[in-house]
Structure 1
Amino acid sequence: MSTNDQRAFDAILSMAQNLLRRTSTKTGLAITPEMIDAELNKLEMLMEDDFAVVDREQLVDELIRRYSHTVGRNATLSDDSDHVPWLTAERKRDWLYWRRYSEYMEAKIPLVALDALDEATDEVLGHLEDPNREGDWDRRGLVVGHVQSGKTGNYTGLICKAADAGYKIVIVLAGLHNNLRAQTQIRLDEGFLGFATLANVEDLPAVGVGLIDADHSIRPNYATNRTENGDFTKAAAAKLGVTPEQRPWLFVVKKNKTVLERLLGWIRNRVADYTDPVTGRKIVTNLPILVIDDESDHGSVDTGEDVVDENGKPDLEHQPTTINRLIRSILNHFARSAYVGYTATPFANIFIHDKGTTEEHGPDLFPAAFITNLAAPSNYIGPGRVFGSASSTAADLPLTRPLAEAEYAPWVPPKHRNGFRPKWNGSAKIPVSLEEAIRSFIYACAVRKLRGQGNRHSSMLVHVTRFTSVQNEVVGQIAEYVRELRGRYQRGIDLAETESLMHSEYEEKFRPGMARIRTELVEDEKLADFAWAQIREVLPDVIADIKVREINGSAKDALDYVDNEGTGLKVIAVGGDKLARGLTLEGLCTSYFLRTARMYDTLMQMGRWFGYRDGYLDVCRLYTTHELIEWFGHIADAAEELRQEFDNMVAAGATPKDFGLRVKSHSVLTVTSRAKMRNARPMSFTYSGDLLQTIVFPNRADEIGLNFKAADRFISGLGTAHDLNEQQHLVEGQKWSGHLWRNIPAQQVTTFLRAYRTHPASFRIMSPLIADFIDEMNKDGELTSWTVALIGKDSASAEDEAVIAGLKLAMLTRRKTVDHDDRYSIKTLISPRDQAIDLTEGQWKAALELSRETWRRDTERNEGKEPPTEPRGPATRKVLGEGWSKSGVPAVPKRGLLMLYLLDPAASEIPALKGADPIVAFAISFPGSSSERRVSNAAYMANSVMWGALNDWVD
């Protein structure tokens, strides 16, 4: 599709969406294919020329896909102290920048997503201050999205609305590298400025919103341009001046010491209109400023020591680290300022000290005004869907191709030095696994070409080392392999063996994989399938179009997507840090990823494969290590736990300063860099409100046997068991298979926990530590009485049955996630509903009510499109421990729930466990509690807000 054809296609889409919206609103009916067809018939009479150059069937498919999407609900924690509500429909009535951006986005995203964008940006802007409000004010917030989920589009919309409202200076802090800054500038050229900020060109061509509204009188001013070196320069600082009457100014700058110092100097010398007679600080009183901090967890966080003294009071003479100091200083020079950080990985932001204020730099960047969690649209593919939900394991993940160590380590070992030269079987060439990944990318490009997406960008990411010298070697080896393939298909020399390999590989692996992905992950989209003969026909041209680029700080290559807009760039991008964060790889289909960063935020940001893959998700593949798959699964769980905690705080009406987040740690992963965590300490912590479940077990039969005997003794001493389906509190329609005991003294539970041996790799689930916590809580009269449930599989055959303490139970089957030499690891143990065992009817209803209130309809969080019909775990634990005020359910923090399971050792597929006793696993649901009882361990890290609440620091 040519550029003109694409414009015609987009124009029809935009018009059709508006007509369909009006029809649906007027009739109250859902959009149907018949309705779409009828509206297109009307448009065809008006847009005959446009319809002549587009594929009508493709239009129908795209509209059906768009109207099948849903968008979840956002959630916000806010503190409205010294805030005056101001954003009304009347105030928005004559806004121009937002109107044209909204119209520009109509052709790009479904109207339901556009409505969600409008709502989300209103939410954020409304928590900022009215730029016309007199006096001094400062608002600081954080917007948390998903990786590659459209944060740039969100803050572009926010900038448009802020400029309409009256913010005069907008500064966007756009990463640490020139290419990321330039990419952001290009996006803002299209979405806000309306013209291409080319260097040394007087007549700047209209782009994006400028093609919708060419009125030069509303054009914003700009101080930076879209070239690689288009940052805020010394020349611009010397001649640039602003006045209150001028249109808004946009600055897109790097988080770079020289650039930010230059910007700060310009503000002091050319913008400030008042000098504080006491401090001598120059202040801008007549221009409200909005600072957007993209990837705000990266580069912006103060990693200096001693933010507060030993009494918890701010050290007013503390010297923040450079970038943090400069951002705060810029804000501190404005009497009216707003700061909004954007990130998908807030693990560093939540460790910012909420009291980190200095006289020179003002308050730290803690989001004291608000934190907004953005929900993902239903077509977003993130870690929760790539690496599996609680019910799937790594072996079940259709998008991933796990690599055994032997498939990559001889080529690029996990540990190597700068100057290392990769070799495979003694030659300077890529390994077989990377050859396979490149062929996978070629198939993806061929399928997309056959689907009419040949003029769209397609990218492959290769990320195997942080050293540029090694990256350079990798580029050469990949380029040589692509040259060989190109030559064979163009000249037909030595082609037979290669073609035979690719033919069988496509038909036996790639094509069946496509079908599986369509079945499991693609919703409401018709994706055409192709036989090898069709792929073979376009293969020579596809291979000929592929470019290999080195993307790092020393290479001169660039991802020139804009220059190839009409034809589509087909690129294999080899890089390091420049590809690790923020930089968007357009049309990313294939990733070969070996980099082993061990920080939650860095590792998650390296996952550039997350995002939107409409029309080609089934051709996407991720080649990575078993270990990385396990780590990403852990991070996805940690992020979800953070979001669940957040949702509960929102339901309770808390503020950001009340938000004492706890972030799960990992045996080999740190939450974020140690420097960013100087304000976080290993702490005495609580299990209150938590679910603990064993997912790591020994792979030796004798150790399994010891735990079985411990459980057998424990169960034998519990007395007469109730059948789970005869319990007195059974909620109608809920059935379990197993046995139940009530009012079990805590001492019996702790005796079992101290006898049970958790695996050393299970750093969070340490049974003796859990027993210590229960003992501590008993001192306050809590967790003194326990319900114990022995839970089996609902439907089972005689082969599944086992006996423990004389009781029959159907064993669960849990597949191992990753091969380990020393352990058997599973993804999850319990069924989500198991925590609701033994709830009274009132508690069940209260927990269900809270579950629905905190439901966000977020597909990425595996929440589904319909409200929950059963209580979710976090809600159940809150209701049991803290009560739920809206339902008047009393708290019962004295009672804990211990759930016991038997796992079938045969399902582990570990030879050493053949014939072993059933594997005893347990889960504990702790009710929430306000008790200050704690146990000491570093398994969780707490932010400064939580410390202040606990007053319980541990060095």
Structure 2
Amino acid sequence: MIRRQGVNMPTATEQKVVKIVSELLDEEERTSRTPGLISEKIDLVLGMHPKWRDSVDIRSILDEIIRREAFWIGQDATLRNDNGHEAWLTASRKKDWRYWQRYREWIERRLPLDAVDALDASTDSVLALLEDPERDGFWSRRGLVVGHVQSGKTGHYSGIVCKAADAGYKIVIVLAGLHNNLRSQTQMRLDEAFLGYKTTAFNEEAYTVIGVGEIDADPAIRPNFATTRSEKGDFNSGVAKNFGITPEKRPWLFVVKKNKTVLTRLLGWIKNHVANGRDQETGRPLVTNLPFLLIDDEADHASVDTKEIEFDENGKPDEEHEPTAINRLIRRLLISFSRSAYVGYTATPFANIFIHEQNTTKEEGPDLFPSSFIISLAAPSNYIGPARVFGLRGESGRDAGLPLVRHISDFDSWMPSRHKNGHVPSHHGEDRLPPSLQNAVLSFILACAVRRVRGQEAEHCSMLIHVTRFTSVQRYVHSQVDEFVRQSRQRLLRRTGGHEEILAALRDLWEADFVATTKQMVEVQVEDLSNHIEIPWSDIDNALADAATDIQVRMINGSAKDALDYAENAQTGLKVIAIGGEKLSRGLTLEGLTISYFLRASKMYDTLMQMGRWFGYRPGYIDLCRLYTTRELTEWFEHIADASEELREEFDFMAASNGTPRDYGLKVQSHPTLMVTSSIKMRTARELELSFSGSLSETVTFRKDLPAIQHNIRAIERLLSSLGTSEQSPIIRSRPGGDHTWQGFYWNEVSADAIINFLDNYKSHSEAKKANSQLLSQFVTALNREGELTQWSVGLIGGGDEQHTFETGHSVKMLKRAEHGQHTDRYSIRRLMSPRDEAVDLDEADWVRALEKTQEAFRADAGRNSDGSEPNSPNGPAIRLVRPKERGVLLLYTVKADEKAKLPAEAPPLIGFGVSFPSSSAGVRVKYRVNNVYWEQEYGGF
């Protein structure tokens, strides 16, 4: 019997033992499921099957069960609108469902039972919000499921497809990206999860049973298919010509690209071969006998109508508006059925939320706004997302993320940020990779070797190189990487001279980077590393040659022949370095992604998030993962992690208060941080409508010029002189367990005019997008007209060691905030405020109420938290939610800049402010207009 080191991957027999033991443990209280009890159950199962004992590694089984027991998944949050909806999904209705049952049994082979139960409940909640396919008449439901990047959305909608087919939906169309490789990958997954056989030909005798077919291959329930997994397997003219659909028990599956030609062909076929009637009002062909479900994968990409819509004086959209091609065809597909359901899936829903809820056109019917429901999927505890990788803002700056990011800066001569098509990459004039990319490739060889030693030899292992969008440039990169891998492989195989250099480089990388990183992650108790066993270098050395030999270098350019054939390499595991651009940015899964080298610099929220293929699940090898990227992109991902978490918190609170999709739509459409998404792309200008309600704006970018610094000192002194007598210093607030104190001064019931005057007088830096004092002033003025933000609390908060005294006599200590990035025109910091400062105006009862709301939201979805610990203080959204709509909070700070910032010697301290706005239902927004040139320079391409 082979003893495998580290985290082991169970064999087929071991998986059987794991499944039986897990079922036995499911009957025990979770608190009693100790390693001792687990060992007892393993012995019990092996006692019943003595032949298994000689072929299994008991430690592997124990490790896998402990890993599963450490796994948890939270509760989904839902915004819904039940107008016209009839409840229908009951336990008795599910009693004889076979598609779901075989899918469930199939995924139980690799997922904990708790995870399968959670998926069952989650897919039930989506299906229940669709309409009963057996319900007669006309109905249409539009919903959106928001997951996380690389979090298993395909597995989720596979469950929906199975249950929808069980319930009685007869036609299921899955829209799978824009390119052949993603369509093919999606077809392969649904072959396994729903069809149960390989879709290689339309010949029943040629069926090869796979996936769920291994559980139940009964021909009586075998679904029909209209597309195959091959490169030319999309819906085509030959298919359309040769068969028609008749009402029968077995459902039909179509997996198609979001392509104008394909969708036009599909729509024509439905009208000419499937429709059994006509719409009485319009006369268009109509299908009334076949309930229709459309799953839109990556629903924010291509599906959204990005053309400008004209509105009349009453705010009604133009009915003659002509939508973009894909949006138009999707909507026409939906209105070709009297009974239809649309479910979009995405991790970045912001383009979908910008869809106008009331937009309807004569030929297309209503737009794709998710008017029926939006469901936010909970993050499992083993999901590695932005908050885990990059951390979140905390009490003392930024909470540390996982130590996986490696900053690079040696690529400018090789791949300039503004290079053009045809660029030939060279490092200082030589046809070779920059040292950072050489290190990344060596890290991948090491990672493959370590996974072999850990018993994960048969698992997929991938590397991503994403440095250019131009195919011609990718070819040069492919050639250079392939040559570097070839030379490395030869030296590791032969070891007859010339190999010493690469061996020394690999060993240095192992000892200086990998050993230290793994140790650090074990110390902070990262999942899957609790049973980690240190590996000696000699074991790694022995595995290097085989690891390098297995590695392939591929270009990914969109055709199915470029698709990474993970399924075909399931027994041995594919070891691949994938080089690509746009085709790697959407939906395509890189199985076992371990090393990423990433230079693309789009600053669009949704584009950048979707490029983050490194998010996802990394069981047993998270400590081996690396992200090589720039400091600037790291800053943007940190920014995105914070903003994304803030909006998910808002979503949780809206769901708890029975909010609707439109409520969330208004929130996202006006969010001052996530305002940049390609759905608001215009031809000549960008006009953004912003709301700061329920948000925090704080100064993190300051002007460096002396006149501006002096001007802002005068602005705060004018405000202080107008405020009168302050509350005693220190500021004291009662909290459970002890008082909270602040050094400084506090004023209550300050007029809005005083706040507006200060904001008007303050000079913001042009880069201060979220703390633009002029926009904030306009917003406060606009809400005053609605009777909100009329009474303010103001705090002058001190911290640090050195004192500053204003001419008004108010003396406070200056904050010390390190410079974040070096800029000649501005002084930038990560965070101005301590999060607890935002609650300075709350009494004890409101503070407790805000904490309860924070903890409730956390318990529902603890998996997305960076460290899994329950909050012991309220977060910002909860604080703003409990605060009265009439009261805003302005907090003022003095900041002592670093000496290296080279501010003028005579400059007074920098003046920063934070404004905490309560939640509002007034819907007030202010306009922020930028020209097209500025937009392209600031946010990059799409």
Hey, what's the Cα distance between the residues in 2 that align with 1:273 and 1:650?
40
In structure 2, give the amino acid aligned to 1:108.
Answer: R
Q: Deviations over 1:151-208 (max 9, x none)?
A: 0010001111111111111111111111111111111111111112223763322211
Q: Deviations over 1:879-938 (max 9, x none)?
A: 2235xxxxxxxxxx1x321222344434x8645589975443221112233456654324
> Once the 2 structures are TM-superposed, how far is the Cα of residue 468 of structure 1 from its aligned partner?
0.6
Where do 1:224-235 residues align within 5 Å? 224-235=227-238
Cα 1:728–1:411 change in 2 (3 A) is closer
Q: Give the match for residue 82 of structure 1.
A: 84
Question: In the alignment, is residue 594 of structure 1 matched against residue 599 of structure 2?
Answer: yes
Q: Deviations over 1:220-252 (max 9, x none)?
A: 111111112211222221222222223111111
Q: How large is the Cα RMSD of the aligned pairs?
A: 3.1
Q: Give the match for residue 758 of structure 1.
A: 764
> Once the 2 structures are TM-superposed, how far is the Cα of residue 8 of structure 1 from its aligned partner?
1.8
Q: Deviations over 1:534-553 (max 9, x none)?
A: 32221111111111001114
Q: Give the match for residue 924 of structure 1.
A: 915
Cα 1:686–1:221 change in 2 (3 A) is closer
Contact 1:468 1:554 in 2 (8 A): no
> Once the 2 structures are TM-superposed, how far is the Cα of residue 712 of structure 1 from its aligned partner?
5.3
Q: 1:637 aligns with which of 626, 642, 663?
A: 642
Q: Deviations over 1:587-639 (max 9, x none)?
A: 00011111122322122111100101111111111111222112222223332
Cα 1:115–1:749 change in 2 (3 A) is same
Hey, what's the Cα distance between the residues in 1 that align with 2:731 and 2:428?
65
Q: Which moved more, 1:543-552 or 1:514-523?
A: 514-523
Hey, what's the Cα distance between the residues in 2 that align with 1:555 and 1:134?
40
Where do 1:531-930 residues align within 5 Å? 531-553=536-558, 557-663=562-668, 671-673=676-678, 682=687, 685-699=690-704, 704=709, 707-708=712-713, 710-711=715-716, 714-715=719-720, 718-723=723-728, 727=732, 733-739=738-744, 740-779=746-785, 782-793=788-799, 799=801, 809=812, 811-855=814-858, 857-859=860-862, 861-862=864-865, 865=868, 868-882=871-885, 893=886, 895-906=887-898, 910=901, 912=903, 917-930=908-921
> Once the 2 structures are TM-superposed, how far is the Cα of residue 95 of structure 1 from its aligned partner?
1.1
Q: Give the match for residue 11 of structure 1.
A: 16
Q: Deviations over 1:507-543 (max 9, x none)?
A: 1223212323444471363333334333222111111
Q: Which moved more, 1:344-353 or 1:523-532?
A: 523-532
Hey, what's the Cα distance between the residues in 1 that align with 2:678 and 2:84?
34
Contact 2:894 2:912 in 1 (8 A): yes
Question: In the alignment, is residue 193 of structure 1 matched against residue 198 of structure 2?
Answer: no
SS at match of 2:510: helix
Q: Which moved more, 1:125-134 or 1:375-384?
A: 375-384
Contact 2:723 2:750 in 1 (8 A): yes
Hey, what's the Cα distance between the residues in 1 that align with 2:567 and 2:307?
40
> Once the 2 structures are TM-superposed, how far is the Cα of residue 721 of structure 1 from its aligned partner?
4.1
Cα 1:679–1:36 change in 2 (3 A) is farther
Q: Give the match for residue 337 of structure 1.
A: 340
Cα 1:879–1:174 change in 2 (3 A) is same
> Once the 2 structures are TM-superposed, how far is the Cα of residue 389 of structure 1 from its aligned partner?
0.5
Contact 2:77 2:655 in 1 (8 A): yes
Cα 1:774–1:270 change in 2 (3 A) is closer
- Percent identity over the alignment is 51
Q: Deviations over 1:83-137 (max 9, x none)?
A: 1100111111111111111111112222222122111101100000011111111
> Once the 2 structures are TM-superposed, how far is the Cα of residue 723 of structure 1 from its aligned partner?
4.6
> Once the 2 structures are TM-superposed, how far is the Cα of residue 715 of structure 1 from its aligned partner?
4.2
Question: In the alignment, is residue 184 of structure 1 matched against residue 183 of structure 2?
Answer: no
Where do 1:239-258 residues align within 5 Å? 239-258=242-261
Contact 1:724 1:735 in 2 (8 A): no
Q: Give the match for residue 506 of structure 2.
A: 502
Structure 2's unaligned 5+ residue stretches are 932-942
Q: Which moved more, 1:924-933 or 1:140-149?
A: 924-933
Cα 1:466–1:14 change in 2 (3 A) is same
Hey, what's the Cα distance between the residues in 1 that align with 2:20 and 2:697?
52
Cα 1:763–1:723 change in 2 (3 A) is same
Where do 1:274-289 residues align within 5 Å? 274-289=277-292
Hey, what's the Cα distance between the residues in 2 that align with 1:278 and 1:742?
62
In structure 2, give the amino acid aligned to 1:357.
Answer: T
Hey, what's the Cα distance between the residues in 2 that align with 1:422 and 1:633?
29
Q: Which moved more, 1:726-735 or 1:837-846?
A: 726-735
Q: 2:147 aligns with which of 145, 148, 168?
A: 145
Contact 1:858 1:865 in 2 (8 A): no
> Once the 2 structures are TM-superposed, how far is the Cα of residue 37 of structure 1 from its aligned partner?
1.1
Q: Give the match for residue 934 of structure 2.
A: none
Cα 1:366–1:935 change in 2 (3 A) is closer
Q: Give the match for residue 423 of structure 2.
A: 420
TM-score by length of 1: 0.90
Contact 1:791 1:809 in 2 (8 A): yes
Q: Which moved more, 1:208-217 or 1:552-561?
A: 552-561
Cα 1:443–1:724 change in 2 (3 A) is farther
Contact 1:8 1:51 in 2 (8 A): no
SS at match of 2:123: helix
Q: Give the match for residue 354 of structure 1.
A: 357
In structure 2, give the amino acid aligned to 1:355.
Answer: Q
Hey, what's the Cα distance between the residues in 2 that align with 1:313 and 1:679?
23
SS at match of 1:92: coil
Q: Give the match for residue 164 of structure 1.
A: 166
SS at match of 2:590: coil
TM-score by length of 2: 0.91
Hey, what's the Cα distance between the residues in 2 that align with 1:489 and 1:311?
73
Hey, what's the Cα distance between the residues in 2 that align with 1:394 and 1:418?
40
Cα 1:816–1:194 change in 2 (3 A) is farther
Structure 1's unaligned 5+ residue stretches are 883-892, 941-955
Hey, what's the Cα distance between the residues in 1 that align with 2:10 and 2:846?
59
Where do 1:259-408 residues align within 5 Å? 259-306=262-309, 308-391=311-394, 393=398, 398-404=403-409, 407-408=410-411
Cα 1:340–1:757 change in 2 (3 A) is same
> Once the 2 structures are TM-superposed, how far is the Cα of residue 315 of structure 1 from its aligned partner?
3.0
Hey, what's the Cα distance between the residues in 2 that align with 1:10 and 1:180?
30
Cα 1:190–1:658 change in 2 (3 A) is same
Q: 1:91 aligns with which of 83, 90, 93?
A: 93
In structure 2, give the amino acid aligned to 1:231.
Answer: D
Contact 2:178 2:259 in 1 (8 A): yes
Cα 1:257–1:826 change in 2 (3 A) is same
SS at match of 1:875: helix
Contact 2:601 2:633 in 1 (8 A): yes
Q: Which moved more, 1:175-184 or 1:242-251?
A: 242-251
Q: Which moved more, 1:707-716 or 1:166-175?
A: 707-716
Question: In the alignment, is residue 217 of structure 1 matched against residue 220 of structure 2?
Answer: yes
In structure 2, give the amino acid aligned to 1:571.
Answer: V
Q: Which moved more, 1:698-707 or 1:338-347?
A: 698-707
Hey, what's the Cα distance between the residues in 2 that align with 1:338 and 1:879?
37
SS at match of 2:26: helix
Hey, what's the Cα distance between the residues in 2 that align with 1:441 and 1:457?
12
Hey, what's the Cα distance between the residues in 1 that align with 2:620 and 2:805?
51
Cα 1:539–1:686 change in 2 (3 A) is closer
Contact 1:303 1:678 in 2 (8 A): no
Q: Which moved more, 1:1-10 or 1:329-338?
A: 1-10
Q: Give the match for residue 74 of structure 2.
A: 72
In structure 2, give the amino acid aligned to 1:626.
Answer: R
Cα 1:157–1:558 change in 2 (3 A) is closer
> Once the 2 structures are TM-superposed, how far is the Cα of residue 403 of structure 1 from its aligned partner?
1.9
Q: Give the match for residue 127 of structure 1.
A: 129
Q: Which moved more, 1:468-477 or 1:719-728?
A: 719-728
Contact 1:422 1:473 in 2 (8 A): yes
Cα 1:431–1:860 change in 2 (3 A) is farther
Cα 1:815–1:41 change in 2 (3 A) is farther
> Once the 2 structures are TM-superposed, how far is the Cα of residue 768 of structure 1 from its aligned partner?
3.2
